[in-house]
Each structure stands twice: as C-alpha cells, then as structure tokens.
Amino acid sequence: MPLQFATRLNNVETSAIRELFKLLGKPGIISLAGGFPDSAMFDVEGLREASQRALQEEPGGALQYGATEGYEPLRTQLAAFERSKGVTDIEPHNLIVTTGSQQALDLLGKTLISEGDKVIVEGPTFLATIQCFRLYGADIESAPIDAHGVQVDKLEQMIAQHKPKFVYLIPTFGNPSGALLSLERRRKILELAVKYQVLVVEDDPYGDLYFGKAPPRACWRCPRTCRAAANGSRTAGRSARC
C-alpha cells in the first residue's frame, strides 16, 4: 500500500546539500562548497578528554534524559560566554540548546510561520533554511546583498511592503556569499526592527571563526531586538550536534 504523505511535502525539492555531501564522503575529494572541514583539524584529543571527564564526573547528567531546554550547566556556561562578549541581559533561562542551528530554525518555522506568511531572507542565503521555512508554508522574499551584506535601504522597502513575520539574516560571513555586514548596517537593521516591530532572526554560525580583526558585534548581542541561532559544532566538530 503506498504511503499517503502530508500535502505540505508536495513542493519539497531534493536537497542540494544532501547530494553534495554524498560526493564529499568519497576519498580524494576536497571541496570548498559545502562547509566541509578538513578532518585532520578536529580536536580529537580535546573531545576525547572532555567526554571522559564528563563520564567520570557526572555520568548521570551525560547519559540520562534531561530538560527540553538543554543541560543546565551548559546553558549557564553559554550565558557566561555571551556576557563575556558584551551581552548584558542574558541568563540561562533565556537559552535553548538544540542539535545544531537547523533544529533551531525548524522550531522557529514550526512556532512562528503560518501558511502564506512572508519571510524575508538574504539573496542568496542558506538553502536548507529556505527549504525549512517553505515546508511550513512561508512565502520567501529575497533581499539583495552586496559585499557589505544585505542592502538595508532595499530591506526597509521590503519590510514596509510585505510586513513579514520575521527577517532571517546571516550577517557575519554569510552562507554562501561570505559577505560581512558592516557595523553601520547592523545598527540600521536594529533601528528597522524597532521601527517596524519586526523580529530579526540572526543565524551566527561563523561569528567566532575569523582571521585578524574581529567582525562587528553580532546584532543579537545588542539590546532586545534580535534572536539568534548560534552553532558551536562549527568550531568543535560537525557530529558534536548529535
């Protein structure tokens, strides 16, 4: 008997990222296209030591079911980490630990998007995000970018026109553009969020991966206008999200 899938899957397309990763698993392939790091760079010894320490000092906490929001000592450390970067109004209860930013984006889609809602993204942006939001019925609108990130004048016009449920941005080293949103534009986006009372979702997987001068402060580290999906697996190891 054929399975009767949900109608929301009718317009789901094959994942280009999934097809790409099939190729990346082959020996001898070095790709700069999929965010696929050199396995030799993983901190194997550090991860092994951390795992052993967790199992020795608190095996129950490491292996047992935990709170939906995530392991509380981890959320406490994450809050302290963000405070060290200048966030003044963040506490552990403000945070949810997810298995990668993709789950965070899926939760956003599940809880915020209704059929036909407008969502503004950068053009181009992370393909998996578009697929995720469309699965929940979003009508995606793309704001143009240049070397300095999203063009805020065009973004304001689109916000006024479409009245989106939220705006999704990757301001720091955008995927796939690599664009770095300037400090001036970040400030303007915060002003737009307040002016139009629109939620800005900042995806910040690369904010702590840079050479030389640090990038401008993440938008969500400014007071009360943005929310973020940060991703620690970019620095620790891809499977660390599982």
* Full-model pTM: 0.87
| Cis before 124? omega within 30 | yes
Q: pLDDT by residue (tens digit) across 42-77?
A: 899 999 999 999 999 999 988 999 999 999 999 999
Domains and CATH numbers, the chain: 1-15+98-242 (3.40.640.10)
Residue 217 banded pLDDT, cuts 50, 70, 90: confident
Q: H helices within the chain, ranges in order?
A: 16-24, 44-57, 59-63, 72-84, 101-112, 127-135, 152-162, 183-196, 233-236
pLDDT at 240 over 60: no
pLDDT at 172: 93
**Which tens digit of pLDDT belongs to each residue from 88-130?**
788 999 899 998 888 999 999 999 999 999 999 999 999 889 9
- Res. 228: pLDDT tops 50: yes
Distance CA 98, CA 33 (A): 25
Pairing of strands 149-150, 139-146: antiparallel
| Separation CA 13–CA 11 (nearest Å) | 6
What is the residue whose two structure tokens read 């194997």? 44
What separation in angstroms does the CA of 175 have from each of 77, 81, 108?
27, 24, 19
- Tell me what pLDDT residue 199 has: 92
Evaluate if residue 222 carries a pLDDT over 70. Answer: no
Q: What pLDDT score does 224 carry?
A: 42
Higher-confidence position of 126 and 18 = 126
| pLDDT exceeds 90 at position 28 | no
- Specify the pLDDT at position 239: 47
Read off the tokens for 210. 């840079």
pLDDT in tens, 187-216: 999 999 999 999 999 998 888 888 999 898
User: Span 154-160, mean pLDDT?
Assistant: 98
| Rounded Cα gap, residues 3 and 121, in angstroms | 34
- The fraction of the chain above a pLDDT of 90, given in percent, is 57
Asked if 97 and 70 touch (Cβ cutoff 8 Å), the reply is yes
Report, as an integer, the average pLDDT of 162-179: 94
Paired tokens of 158 = 């689109």
Q: Look at residue 242 in the predicted model and tell me its pLDDT.
A: 41
